[in-house]
Amino acid sequence: MNKSNLLFTFLIIVFILFFLIHLNGGNFNFQLTDLLNTIFDYNPENQEHIIIKELRITRTLTGIIAGISLSIAGLLMQTYFNNPLAGPSILGISTGSSLFVAIAIMVGGTFFSTSYGLISAAIIGAIIFSLIILIFSKIVKSPISLLIIGVMLSSFTSSFIQLIQISADPNALKTFTIWGFGSIQQVTSDQLPLLSSCFIATLLSLAMIIKPLNLLVLGEKNAQYLGIKTKQIRILIIAITAIFTGLTTSYCGPISFIGLAIPNLVKLIFKTQNHSKLIIGCALVGGSVMLICDLLIYWLEPFIIVPLNSITAIFGAPIVIWILLSKKIHA
């Protein structure tokens, strides 16, 4: 067994371990038979079944979906822009998605108060801001300049969100404020099928761009010489990134640093530019890290309520700083 297979085996074991620990986190403990009965013989009048389905299974699966989505979205952006500091939260894509969710929650009509409405708003916002960053990337050649533009775009967009908040209905404002802290607890079992189906469909679409991603590492012009239709691939990358970011943002809020830190960490672990390996690595590490972050919230709940964004920042920021200082990845 080669080194890559050993790493994948280890990461799969870690992923399964934290999946099981998270599934049985909190104060209420249950047995494997209770979980199986809930899945295969659900009784809506059984309190244990309700807790396992509504609070445990849904929260765990949402955490996995969010961690995988943001990690892969970050990887796609870093590859396309050839910038290790690219990520949904850094380049303003999450903030753009948040702007449209703010409009949906605090200004929008009946449609935007539904799950379909929130997803639509978040994805539209992510697509628009992805296109804006794409335009700037064609004008500005320096990765650091593009990063600064992304940060400024986030600040600019945040000011509009604040203006919306000032005149918003108090109940809608409260809803948006809580949503903005980031959480995987808000998704219900009724919403999970829609979230899961959109996620799986987007995940499967990655098969179309793995080879082009490997060639894009050589540069866009070289990829064109090798027969890659870069315009079509650009559209696919933007669409997949926007859907992953929009899905997570609409349901879980703007979660920071996962999309930036995980892809860089996976690249250091595997030391490869093969995106078939990097995507699987991001999925395993991103899902595990999100579950670990939420487990900390579980364990701290008796003492203090901690927003998910605080935990992911505490985890992600030191990793990004360490990567930059180690000079193993050049910005």
pLDDT of 31-78, one tens digit each? 777 777 888 888 888 888 888 888 889 999 999 999 999 999 999 989
The pLDDT of residue 331 is above 70: no
Tokens of 307: 């927003």
CA–CA dist 121, 97 (Å, integer): 7
Instruction: Looking at mean pLDDT, say which of 26-30, 87-91, 198-202 comes out highest.
Output: 198-202
Q: What's the pLDDT at 330?
A: 46
Q: What's the pLDDT at 318?
A: 86
Give the mean pLDDT of 224-244: 84
Task: Please provide the distance, in angstroms rounded to a whole number, between the alpha carbons at the two ends of the chain.
Answer: 34
Distance, C-alpha 187 to centroid of its chain: 15
Give the mean pLDDT of 76-90: 84
- Domains for the chain: give ranges and CATH numbers: 3-326 (1.10.3470.10)
CA–CA dist 323, 134 (Å, integer): 25
pLDDT band for position 266 (cuts 50, 70, 90): very high
CA–CA dist 223, 219 (Å, integer): 6
- What single letter denotes the amino acid at residue 98? S
Q: What angle do CA 23, 24, 30 make, to 5 degrees?
A: 125
Q: Positive or negative CA dihedral for 16, 69, 259, 141?
A: positive
Question: What whole-number percentage of the chain has pLDDT above 90?
Answer: 26
* CA-based nearest residue to 59, from 204, 195, 201, 176: 195
Tokens of 202: 């987007």
Tokens of 100: 């449209």
Tokens of 178: 């809580």
Give the mean pLDDT of 129-134: 86
pLDDT band for position 26 (cuts 50, 70, 90): low
Give the mean pLDDT of 118-126: 86
Per-residue pLDDT reduced to its tens digit, 154-189: 888 989 888 888 888 888 888 888 888 888 888 888
Residue ranges of the alpha helices (H) in the chain?
A: 3-23, 32-40, 47-50, 58-81, 93-106, 115-139, 143-166, 170-180, 192-205, 210-216, 220-225, 230-252, 258-270, 275-300, 308-326
Which pTM value belongs to this model?
A: 0.89
Q: What's the pLDDT at 327?
A: 58
The pLDDT of residue 284 is above 90: yes
CA–CA dist 17, 126 (Å, integer): 33
